[in-house]
Amino acid sequence: MSLKRAFTLTELMISVVIIGTVLFAIVEAYSSIQKAVQYSKDRTIATNLAHEKINIIREKLYYKAVPSLNVSYLTDFDPPIPYDTVFFPPETVLEGGVYYTRYTYIVPVEEVNGSIVELPPQSPDTGMKKISVTVVWSYRNEKKKVSVSTIYASKDTVMRNASIGGRIRDKDTLAPISNANIIIAEYIGIVDVSDSNGNYSASIYPGNYTLYVQKRGYFPYLTQFSVGPNQSITKDIDLKAMGWGKITGVPWLRDHLVISQIVGSTESPSGFDQEYIEIFNPTTYTWTVKGNIGLRFQRIYDDTKKNILINYFTDTISPGGFYLFANTSPVIINGVSINADAVWSSTNSSIDFPYFNPSLGQYNIIPVFGDGSDEGGGAIELYRISDGKILDQVGWNRNSGTKKVAPFCEPGTNCQTQAIQQNIGLQEGEQYVRYSSTAGVSSVYGPSYDSNNNSIDFKDYLSINISPRNSSNLLPIISGTPADGSIVGCGDGYSVSTNSYLVGSPPYSYFELNYVATGTWNFSVSSNTYAFITDSITVTNGSTVTLNSVYLTSEVSWGYITGNLTDVYGNNITPAIKVLSSDGNETYVSNKKYTLMVSTGVVSITANPGNLNPSYVSVSSNNISINAGEIKSGVNFVLFQGARITGKVVIAGSTVAVPGIPVLITDIYETPRDNQITDTSGRFITNVLSTGSYIVIPQTDSKESVNPSTYTLTLTSPGTTVFSTTFSITNAIGYIAGSVKFQNQPIKTGVLIVVSTVSLSGTPPQPPDISSQMLSGPPYYMASSNEEGNYLVEVRGSTNPAYNVYSYYPYLDNNGNFVIYWSSRTNIKVYAGQVVSNINFSW
Amino acid sequence: MKKGYTLTELMAVVAISGILIAVGVPVLNTVNQNIIMAKTRLTLQQDARTSMSLITRVLKEATASSIVITRHNSSQMFYSKIKFSTIDGKNYEFYQDGKSLVMRDGNVTRVLSSDLRYLAFTLTESSDLYIVSISMTLERYLFNGKRKALHMASEKVMVMND
């Protein structure tokens, strides 16, 4: 019979816990589903808000959608999202209990071969702008966003209906020049490149321009031209050949200590089995070796590298000097005694090194073939003790018998073929010696050649041919590591940086920098953070400067940008123009050239920032990437002269300023050249415009009118600011704003606001029905308050008659019926461009 | 061998159950209320969105000259009704009638929501019938009127035809 028993208290409690856990899990799951649903709703609302903002902007005049000049970035997202901070600042909207922030960004765009290209904000108006609205909200402590973009095209989109074309030739030979850059200074960029027959052409907007033609090996050519709508003009240009030469050279990187000699076994006169490792310093600075530089060895039988314990006698290794590690001191070779700078410590373990056992009179870390047991292969490593950084590695194979490959060799190489190739490995009396140059081993030059391939860099001798050297020896250096792919640049302002490449066997690195203008320039070769920099390389016409060995020995963390800067006639500008980099470095142009030291990475540079020299425009060159030690040449600028236009907009018949009125400035061909908005004092001021005639046109909507409607003026004196005129405007927009409250709480459900100069009658005062019958007569303005209990109504500026503001709040009484609560304010005077705030209503 | 509960065990069970119920019921009640609130809010959002997209879709097709903004009858809010004809000659009305949001498509009327608290069709300026702002608030009272769920939606519609 089975034993039946009731639940114990513990069992009951456990089941309660289990049931509780399950219930909790269900509730959690339900709430997470709810949250996911919530996210999709939030997203829909955000999208609607973005579309709404775009509609609000598109509803305004095209010229009121001013491109964003003052831009900040939302860095919570990658890539960061730009937004306008001045004309369309961020705004917060509460909807469905969630706060959404709307960010707006407007850029001029242009259609190029069917795709839309963004232009710099100062570009002349193309009749098209891209409006991007990003709505950001927080969802479970995480920022979420929705972005919507649209193209806003002006009704009178300007067409590139003018053109320029022609032929580029060599002034002396009259041969066509291909690949010349055709630049229009006012467009900031290349508009065409000449073809094989020297022909070029470009479609442009009608206007006055500066043409700039640039070709390596020729002096740049500048000319000014004017072209009207539907007009084509021809400019044939002959370029004068410039004197130029070239620079060639062999760059070597000398940045690390190298293992220069390895001997595994050689007998002293007394019969002691000597072994040693010699180190060489090809760098230009002294290294501390004592306690700082160590050695590791690995036999072909071991699984891991073993640290060699060392007693150091000498502290440092000098530039061009040696350092000798040995198992005894002195080392006696061919009857000559040489002191070691450090010796193996007697505490090295015989477990790590089976041929090292002082009690048995054995002092060998590195086994040789004669030790038997297939010994003879191995690898040695020179490293920095503090951080384990590997300075150099040498491995040697034992290719015959039971074939064995070195356990390691130079990082990234295949030891099968790139370790020192040996039949029976390292032998008694054998030595490996590093090359002094591609020519081989030398006893008079430092063993510094390091192509990162042990099979090429070392020669083996079956007897000691090159005696070991210690810290008392110094040798001159004629090589290093071939600086493959190093960047070569010259500050002549014309040549283009080039890269070095490997040639020969054993390999060395080589470069050829062409079309370097004649003169004395700064010049650099850089690889990673090591560089060779000089400021006095002289190039003469038709010659080649040959630099047999260029040593990259100095560590740098910056680069240089150089180029030419002239006025439109190719002349130097005085007072000197400032050039500023985006990382904050600056310099001044001297004799048409500038050299700017910049931090590495991507930078933008601006010539004449902020119109510091007010007679000239400001021009930027973006996204220049620069490496450490690099000289980037040919970042050239042509600055055209100009002046600014200012003016004022007031309410007709008064001196009251009207802010927020867009003002368009076109040239005489009606091509837009600038677009500004009046500030709080009703004034506007343009960017620097090139000298010439302009038309100032305040932009008004169909209800507004302005007098005069346009104003034409001519800018003749560069650097001046010319006052156009005072424009009088009637019927411009102003605002009435306020809050709505019920029992001191903001009303979240909506209050209707009606504004008119008409006095309404009835209880509550009854506004008229709105229809197309109402188009004439005094207008009514309406709005609903938002979820936060605030409202904003746009009205035409009017003080006489002043406005009446009516508000209506549908209150739901206890019986579920609506009662309209209402209130009104009279004699509200609104000036154009101003906000009359605090017109609050409460019940 | 059979063994029942001892009196002490039973008393402990009863005591623990009592405590659990005393603590758990109000907690469960709150959780339940919150879930109902969230659910109602979502329903209102969904209703508002559906109604709003219906109105904007039809209103876009309207001819501006046919638009009339008024109220359904004298006990409704001002400007809580819009009447218009579309470019293909169909007549529509959207209006508030008490708590109902009503759509009239030709001769067919349909209630889009019964939770309407506020509806207003406004123009930036009465002489410009091409941009209509719609503001709509849905509201539902829960738990004997002690709490309410609320959703406000607003949108601007560009009327495409003269």
pLDDT band at A167 (very low <50, low <70, confident <90, very high): very high
pLDDT for A803 equals 92
- Contact: A703, B122; criterion CB under 8 Å: no
Main-chain phi, psi angles of B18, to 5 degrees: -60, -45
- Full residue range of the structural domain in which residue B60 is found: 8-158
d(CA A603, CA A659): 36
Judged on CB neighbours under 10 Å (0-12, 13-18, 19+), A154 is middle
pLDDT at residue A314 greater than cutoff 90:
yes
Nearest CB partner across the interface for B126, out of A750, A770, A808: A770
- Closest CA relative to residue A97, chosen from A66, A138, A133, A132: A138
The amino acid that residue A611 corresponds to is: N
Which of the 8 DSSP states describes residue B90?
A: -
* Cα-based torsion angle of the residue sequence A649, A652, A656, A661 in order, rounded to the nearest 10 degrees: -30
Label the pairing between strands A733-742 and A841-842: parallel
What are the C-alpha distances in Å from A381 to residues A348, A377, A406, A584?
17, 14, 12, 44
d(CA B131, CA B150): 26
The amino acid that residue A680 corresponds to is: T
Q: Is A15 on the interface with B (CB under 8 A)?
A: no
- Closest CA relative to residue A800, chosen from A757, A839, A770, A761: A757
Q: Is A771 on the interface with B (CB under 8 A)?
A: yes
Which residues on chain A are in Cβ contact (under 8 Å) with B45?
Answer: 41, 45, 96
pLDDT at residue B1 greater than cutoff 60:
no
DSSP letters spanning A665-699: EEETT--EEEEEE--TTSEEEPPPEESEEEEEEE-
Residue listed under structure tokens 């570009």: A123
If one compares A493 and B107, the residue with the highest pLDDT of the two is: B107
d(CA A495, CA A512): 11
pLDDT at residue A436 greater than cutoff 90:
yes
Least confident among A68-82, A303-317, A533-547, B49-63: A68-82
Under 8 Å CB-to-CB from A475, ≥6 apart: which residues? A320, A322, A436, A444, A445, A446, A447, A469
pLDDT for A186 equals 66
CA distance to partner chain A, nearest, from residue B151 (Å)? 5
Residue listed under structure tokens 């001044």: A588
pLDDT at residue A121 greater than cutoff 70:
no
Label the pairing between strands A578-581 and A586-588: antiparallel
pLDDT at residue A824 greater than cutoff 50:
yes
> How far out from the chain centre does Cα A455 lie?
42
Which of A10, A32, A784 is the best substitution to test chain B (most B C-beta atoms within 10 A)?
A784
Q: Is B30 on the interface with A (CB under 8 A)?
A: no
pLDDT for A111 equals 74
Nearest CB partner across the interface for A750, out of B127, B129, B137: B137
pLDDT for A156 equals 59
Under 8 Å CB-to-CB from A75, ≥6 apart: which residues? none
pLDDT band at A1 (very low <50, low <70, confident <90, very high): very low
Instruction: Of A223-237, A459-473, A684-698, give the range with the top mean pLDDT.
Output: A459-473
Q: Is A462 on the interface with B (CB under 8 A)?
A: no
The amino acid that residue A500 corresponds to is: S
Under 8 Å CB-to-CB from A338, ≥6 apart: which residues? A324, A330, A331, A332, A467, A468, A469, A470
Least confident among A117-126, A475-484, A753-762, A771-780: A117-126
Q: Is the dihedral of CA A553, A554, A560, A564 positive or negative?
A: negative
pLDDT for A123 equals 67
Q: Nearest residue of A to residue B131 by CA position?
A: A59
Mean pLDDT of chain A: 85
pLDDT for A190 equals 65
* Cα-based torsion angle of the residue sequence A760, A761, A765, A770 in order, rounded to the nearest 10 degrees: -50
pLDDT band at B61 (very low <50, low <70, confident <90, very high): confident
Under 8 Å CB-to-CB from A17, ≥6 apart: which residues? none
Nearest CB partner across the interface for B77, out of A16, A55, A808: A808
Angle at which helix B7-60 crosses helix A9-59, to 10 degrees, equals 20
> pLDDT digits over A241-277, tens only?
888 899 999 999 998 999 999 998 888 888 888 999 9
Cross-strand bridge partners of residue A580: A586, A606
Predicted complex ipTM: 0.86
Gyration radius of chain B over CA positions:
26
Instruction: Of A56-65, A368-377, A570-579, A647-656, give the range with the top mean pLDDT.
Output: A570-579
Judged on CB neighbours under 10 Å (0-12, 13-18, 19+), A40 is exposed
Residue B3 lies in a domain: no
Structure tokens belonging to residue A460? 């083996």
Residue B76 lies in a domain: yes
pLDDT at residue A229 greater than cutoff 80:
no
Q: Is A193 on the interface with B (CB under 8 A)?
A: no
Q: Quick check: A378 and A407 in contact, CB under 8 A?
A: yes
Mean pLDDT of A7-27: 82
DSSP letters spanning A619-645: EEEEEEEE-TT-EE----EEEPBEEEE
Superfamily of chain region A243-254+480-556: Immunoglobulins (2.60.40.10)
Which of the 8 DSSP states describes residue B112?
A: E
Q: Helix (H, G, I), strand (E, B), or coil: what is residue A801?
A: strand
How many CA atoms does the CB half-sphere of A422 hold within 13 Å? 30
pLDDT at residue A5 greater than cutoff 90:
no
Which residues on chain A are in Cβ contact (under 8 Å) with B3?
Answer: 5-6
Tell me whether domains A162-242 and A733-842 share a fold: yes
- Contact: A767, B151; criterion CB under 8 Å: no
Superfamily of chain region A642-730: Immunoglobulins (2.60.40.10)
CA distance to partner chain A, nearest, from residue B2 (Å)? 6
DSSP letters spanning A731-778: S-EEEEEEEEEETTEE--S--EEEEESSPP-TTTTPPPPEEGGGSSSS
Q: Could you report how far apart the first and last alpha carbons of chain A are, in Å?
A: 83
Least confident among A143-157, A460-474, A511-525, A591-605: A143-157
Under 8 Å CB-to-CB from A379, ≥6 apart: which residues? A297, A298, A393, A394, A395, A396, A406, A407, A408, A409, A415, A419
Q: Please report, for chain A, the start and end positions of each structural domain, with discontinuous segments joined by +.
A: 40-153, 162-242, 243-254+480-556, 260-461, 564-636, 642-730, 733-842
pLDDT for A295 equals 94
Q: Given 2.60.40.1120, 3.40.50.1110, 3.40.50.2000, 1.10.3430.10, which CATH number is that of A733-842?
A: 2.60.40.1120
pLDDT band at A317 (very low <50, low <70, confident <90, very high): very high
pLDDT band at A158 (very low <50, low <70, confident <90, very high): low
Structure tokens belonging to residue A771? 């229809």
Judged on CB neighbours under 10 Å (0-12, 13-18, 19+), A797 is buried
d(CA A470, CA A461): 20
pLDDT at residue A311 greater than cutoff 90:
yes
d(CA A8, CA A594): 91
Question: Whole-model pTM?
Answer: 0.54
DSSP letters spanning A315-338: -EE-TTBEEEEESSSSEEETTEEE
Which of the 8 DSSP states describes residue B57?
A: H
**Domains in chain B: how many in total?**
1
d(CA A748, CA A810): 12
Which residues on chain A are in Cβ contact (under 8 Å) with B152?
Answer: 95-96, 748-750, 786-787
Q: Is the dihedral of CA A274, A402, A300, A408 positive or negative?
A: positive
Structure tokens belonging to residue B3? 């063994």
Least confident among A197-211, A450-464, A615-629: A615-629
Which residues on chain B are in Cβ contact (under 8 Å) with A37?
Answer: 42
HEC string for A418-487: HCECCCCCCCCCCEEEECCECCECCCCCCCCCCCCCHHHHEEEECCCCCCCCCCCCECCCCCCEECCCCE
What are the C-alpha distances in Å from A350 to residues A327, A346, A361?
14, 10, 12
Q: Given 2.60.40.1120, 3.30.465.10, 2.60.40.3080, 3.40.50.1000, which CATH number is that of A162-242?
A: 2.60.40.1120
> pLDDT digits over A362-392, tens only?
889 998 888 877 788 899 999 999 888 999 9
Residue B97 lies in a domain: yes
If one compares B131 and A841, the residue with the highest pLDDT of the two is: A841
Least confident among A61-70, A596-605, A755-764, B36-45: A61-70
- Contact: B2, A31; criterion CB under 8 Å: no
d(CA A302, CA A296): 12
Residue B91 lies in a domain: yes
Mean pLDDT of B14-26: 84
Q: Helix (H, G, I), strand (E, B), or coil: what is residue A271?
A: coil
- Contact: B152, A749; criterion CB under 8 Å: yes
Cross-strand bridge partners of residue A534: A523
- Contact: B77, A820; criterion CB under 8 Å: yes
Residue B124 lies in a domain: yes
Nearest CB partner across the interface for A748, out of B9, B124, B150: B150
> pLDDT digits over A620-656, tens only?
776 788 888 788 877 888 887 778 899 998 887 777 7
Nearest CB partner across the interface for A812, out of B35, B117, B156: B117
